[in-house]
Structure 1
Amino acid sequence: MTSEVGTDTAAQTVFGVVDSHADTLHVAVISDNGGHLADTEFTTTAAGYAAALAFLDAHGHVSAIGVEGTSSYGAGFTRAARSHGHPVVEVNRPDRAERRRIGKSDPIDAYAAARAALSGRASSVPKDDTVVGIRALHNAARSAVKARTAAANQITHILFAAPDSIRAKYGRLRGTDRIDALARLRPTGDAVHVAVLAALKILARRVKELTAEHTALTKALDSKVTVHNPGLRAAYGVGPDTAAQLLITAGGNPERMRTEAAFAALCGAPPVPASSGKTNRHRLSRGGDRAANAALYRIALVRMAGDSRTREYVARQTAAGRTKKEIIRLLKRAIAREMFRCLTTMVAVPAIADLRPLRQSKNITLTAAARHFGAWPATVSTLERGMRRDDDLAHAYRDWLQAA
C-alpha cells in the first residue's frame, strides 16, 4: 500500500477506481491533476465495501469512482457506492498495448483505470439491477440448452460405436422418437449391451429433464420480459430469449445509451466501411456484444421468413444486386433502430385479448379464419395468444369477426 495523503484532504477533489476480483478489490485514488495518492486492497464483503468507501472519502471529495466489472465482480461494490451517493462509471480493462509497455499488476491496473475515469475516456453509466433476475433466468435457460445438446450428442456418438443390434434398433430413430425410446428401455443382454443401454437410458432421461427445465425457464423468462417491456416482447420476431438478451445488453436503464447509433455499435450492427479502389461498400461489424448481434440476426431471419414488408424489402435489395450478407447487414441496422426505440420509450401494444372470445362466440374455427386471410392456422392462433404481433392483421381480423 502507498499513501501520500496531505493534511488538508477535505478540500481536494479526487478520483477513485476499483479493480475488482472474485475475493478482493484493489482501490486506487488519484488527485484531479492525475497524481497518485494511495492504493490498497479490500475484501468483497459488506464490511470491505464500507472500508473501501471510507478509504476513498478520507482522501477528499470523491468526484467519481470507476469500477471494472460493474455487472460481475464489481456489482456488489457498485451497489454500495451508489447507495452512499457516489457517482460510478464503468471502466474497461487496460488495452493490451499499454499492458505490454508497463506490465500488469493490481496497482498498475487500478491507476490506469483511474486515469481513464479522470480523462473522461471512461464515462459509461453502469447498468442498474432491474434486469438481474432476467439475466439469471436467461443464463440458466441457455445452460440447459447447452447441456441438453451435449447429452444428445453423446447419445449419437455412443450409437456410432454401439453393438450392431443396438445401433440397428435405435440408430434409425431421430429426435424425440429416439429420446423417448431410449428413456423407456430396460438394459438386458451381456455386460457390454447392459453397459451401453444403461448409458443411453441415463442420457435420454437427462435430455427429457433438461427439456422440461428449459420449458419452465422459458415460460418464467417470457413472463419477466413481458412485464418489464411489453413493447419489446410484442415486436415481430422477438421471442423470450431474444428480448431477454437485448434487455441484458441495454440494461434496465437504457438511457445510458445516448443515441440509437450508440446502441447499434453496442450490438455490433453499425455499417463499417470496406472500400478499396473501385469498390465502395460496407461490411458487417465484428465488434460489440456478439450475443446481442446474434439476437438481431435471429430477428432478421424470422422477419425474412414471415414478415411481408421484410420480404418485399429483401426482394428489392436482391434486384438491386445486393448479396444476402449485405441485405442482412442492412436489416440488422434497421432492427437495431427499432429495438432502441422499444427499449427507451414506452411502446403501446394494441389489445388482442378480445380476439379469441370474439371468434369463439361466432363459432368460427381457426382454420376458417386462417383460410379467409390466406394464412396458416398457427399464425392466427399465435396472434390471438399474444405470441405474435401483427397490428394490421389484428385490426383486419377484429373487423372481420365483428362483421361475421
Structure 2
Amino acid sequence: MTSTAARDTAEQDVFGGVDSHADTLHVAVISDNGGHLADAEFTTTAAGYAAALAFLNAHGRVITIGVEGTSSYGAGFTRVARSAALHVVEVNRPDRAERRRIGKSDPIDAYAAARAALSGRASSAPKDDTVAGIRALHNAARSAVKARTAALNQIGSILITAPESIRAKYGRLKGTDRTDALARLRPAGDPVHTAVLTALKSLARRVKELTAEHQALGNALDSVVSVHNPGLRAAYGVGPDTAAQLLVTAGGNPERMRTEASFAALCGAAPVPASSGRTNRHRLSRGGDRAANAALYRIALVRMSHDSRTREYVARQTAAGRTKKEIIRLLKRAVAREMFRCLTTMVAVPGIADLRPLRQSKNLTLTAAAQHLGVWPSTISTLERGIRRDDDLAHAYRDWLQAA
C-alpha cells in the first residue's frame, strides 16, 4: 500500500458490524457510503478481541460499531470496545423478510449489523456491567424458586398416588410441617413403601436446601440492590426482587429511557386506547417487558393493601365507578412514574439509623412505640432496620422519641 493510499485509509470514516457467537465473532467493515470493505472472523478471547479492534482500526476512523447480542455472546467484545473509547450500539437480528431475501451467514449478518449502525436504525446503547451482578443474583434466585416449586409439586403428586398408609399420614400435613416430616423419614417396609418414602425424603430435603439457598441469594441481592440504588429499594412496596427486576429492565443505562412515558411503555404500563362509538376508555397494555410489568403490579398490590394514601385513592376511584382492573392500570402508571424518577435520578433517602439507638437510650420498647403510633410492633421494627420505608411514620416516630 502506498503512503497516499495508507493516508486515505486512515482518514476515511468506517462503520463496523459484529455477528457474535459463543466461540467466534465475525467482524465486517463498511465505508461511510455503505460500501463493503472487508470482513474476518476472530475468537472470543482477549487476543481475539484485540485483533478484531486492530482489524477495524486498520480500515479507517471507526465511527460506530453495531454488535448483535451486546449483553450475551457479544458482551466481551462490547466491554473491550467501549474501554477503547469506541461507540457501540446494540443491533437486533435482521427481520425474517430481509433474511429470506438475502439469506443468512456470518458475513451477511455482520455486514447487516454494520449497515444498521450506519443508517442509525440501531441506536440503543448496550447494557453495561453495572447491573451484571444484580442480573446474575436475580436469575439464580428465580431459578431456586422455580426448582423449589417443582419439587413441592412433585411431592404433592407422589402423595396423591402413594399407598394409603403414607397418604393418610403425610397428605394432611401442609407447608413446612409436611416438608420437615418428610425430610426426617427413615424409609422402611416393602419395596413399594421404601421406594415412595425414599423419593419423598429426597424431594423434601431438596426443598429445604433450595429454601435456604433462596434466602441466602435474597440477602445478597438485597445488599447489592440497596448499595446500587438506595432510593429505589427504599420506595414503599419495593422489595429486593422487585428492585432487581426494574434495574435489570433499565439495563443500568438511564439513556435507554428517554422519557418517563417511554419507560411506562417499556414496562407495558402505558394506557392503550380502547374506545369505540360512545365508549371512551383505556385498557391495560399487553406489550413491553412483562417481568417489569409484573414488578409494577406487585408494588401496586402492596400499596393497595398497606399504604393509606393508596387505599384512599382506590376508594375514591371505586366510588367514581371504575373497575378494579382500571384502578390497577392507573396505579401501575403512577408507580412507573415514580420508579422512573428513582432509576434516572439520585433520590435522597432520609436516614433512620438514629431511631433504634434513640429508642433504646430512652428505655422504650417496640410495643410502647407501636401503641403510641397506632401500628404493629413489627412495623416499627422493620422501619428501624431499614426494611420498610415510611417517611411520615419515621418523622412522627422521631418526634415522639425526642419528646419522650
User: Shorter-normalised TM-score: what interval?
Assistant: over 0.9
**What's the CA shift for 1:316?**
1.8
Specify whether residues 212 and 280 from structure 1 end up closer, same or farther in structure 2 by C-alpha distance, changes over 3 A only: same
Partner residue in 1 for 2:38: 38
**What's the CA shift for 1:208?**
0.5
Q: Distance in 1 between matches of 2:165 and 2:23?
A: 54
SS in 2 for 1:19: strand
SS in 2 for 1:10: helix
SS in 2 for 1:297: helix
Partner residue in 2 for 1:12: 12
The alignment-based identity, stated in percent, is 87
Partner residue in 2 for 1:284: 284
Q: How is 1:150-161 mapped onto 2 (pairs within 5 angstroms)?
A: 150-161=150-161
Specify whether residues 103 and 311 from structure 1 end up closer, same or farther in structure 2 by C-alpha distance, changes over 3 A only: farther
Partner residue in 2 for 1:55: 55
Q: Distance in 2 between matches of 1:235 and 1:27?
A: 44
Partner residue in 2 for 1:69: 69
**What's the CA shift for 1:68?**
1.4
Q: Distance in 2 between matches of 1:71 and 1:43?
A: 17
Q: Number of paired residues?
A: 400
Q: How is 1:77-92 mapped onto 2 (pairs within 5 angstroms)?
A: 77-92=77-92
Specify whether residues 103 and 327 from structure 1 end up closer, same or farther in structure 2 by C-alpha distance, changes over 3 A only: farther
Partner residue in 2 for 1:399: 399
Partner residue in 1 for 2:215: 215
Specify whether residues 396 and 279 from structure 1 end up closer, same or farther in structure 2 by C-alpha distance, changes over 3 A only: same
Q: Any idea what the Cα deviations from partners look like across 1:8-62, whole Å, max 9, x if unmatched?
A: 4222211111121212212222221222222232221112211211221122111
Q: Distance in 1 between matches of 2:166 and 2:97?
A: 57
**What's the CA shift for 1:221?**
0.9
Specify whether residues 272 and 104 from structure 1 end up closer, same or farther in structure 2 by C-alpha distance, changes over 3 A only: farther
**What's the CA shift for 1:95?**
2.4
1:242 to 2:242 alignment: yes
Q: Any idea what the Cα deviations from partners look like across 1:241-297, whole Å, max 9, x if unmatched?
A: 111111112133324422222222222222222223322222222222221111111
Q: Distance in 2 between matches of 1:32 and 1:392?
A: 58
Q: Any idea what the Cα deviations from partners look like across 1:103-125, whole Å, max 9, x if unmatched?
A: 33333322222222111121111
Partner residue in 2 for 1:302: 302
Amino acid at match of 2:151: A
**What's the CA shift for 1:365?**
2.8
**What's the CA shift for 1:73?**
0.9
Q: Any idea what the Cα deviations from partners look like across 1:333-385, whole Å, max 9, x if unmatched?
A: 21111111111221111111222222233333323322332222222221111
1:164 to 2:164 alignment: yes
Partner residue in 1 for 2:177: 177
Partner residue in 2 for 1:386: 386
Q: Distance in 1 between matches of 2:22 and 2:388?
A: 42
Q: Distance in 1 between matches of 2:96 and 2:276?
A: 29
1:357 to 2:357 alignment: yes
Partner residue in 1 for 2:342: 342
Q: Any idea what the Cα deviations from partners look like across 1:119-145, whole Å, max 9, x if unmatched?
A: 112111112212111111111111111
Amino acid at match of 2:361: S
**What's the CA shift for 1:401?**
2.0
Q: Distance in 2 between matches of 1:403 and 1:218?
A: 38
Q: Distance in 2 between matches of 1:49 and 1:374?
A: 62
SS in 1 for 2:107: helix
Deviates more, 1:164-173 or 1:95-104: 95-104
- TM-score between the two structures when normalised by the length of structure 2: 0.94
**What's the CA shift for 1:7?**
8.8
SS in 2 for 1:98: helix
Gaps in structure 1 of 5+ consecutive residues: none
Partner residue in 2 for 1:372: 372
Q: Any idea what the Cα deviations from partners look like across 1:214-264, whole Å, max 9, x if unmatched?
A: 111111111111111111110001111111111112133324422222222
Q: How is 1:140-155 mapped onto 2 (pairs within 5 angstroms)?
A: 140-155=140-155
Amino acid at match of 1:380: I
SS in 1 for 2:9: coil
Q: Distance in 2 between matches of 1:12 and 1:275?
A: 54
Q: Distance in 2 between matches of 1:85 and 1:15?
A: 15
Specify whether residues 261 and 6 from structure 1 end up closer, same or farther in structure 2 by C-alpha distance, changes over 3 A only: farther
Gaps in structure 2 of 5+ consecutive residues: none
Q: Distance in 1 between matches of 2:398 and 2:270?
A: 39
Specify whether residues 6 and 94 from structure 1 end up closer, same or farther in structure 2 by C-alpha distance, changes over 3 A only: farther
Partner residue in 1 for 2:192: 192
Q: Distance in 1 between matches of 2:367 and 2:99?
A: 65
**What's the CA shift for 1:320?**
2.1
**What's the CA shift for 1:101?**
3.8
- TM-score between the two structures when normalised by the length of structure 1: 0.94
SS in 2 for 1:18: strand
**What's the CA shift for 1:6?**
9.4
Q: Distance in 1 between matches of 2:140 and 2:30?
A: 40
Q: Any idea what the Cα deviations from partners look like across 1:174-228, whole Å, max 9, x if unmatched?
A: 1000000000111111111111101111110111111111111111111111111
SS in 2 for 1:9: helix
Q: Distance in 2 between matches of 1:306 and 1:162?
A: 42
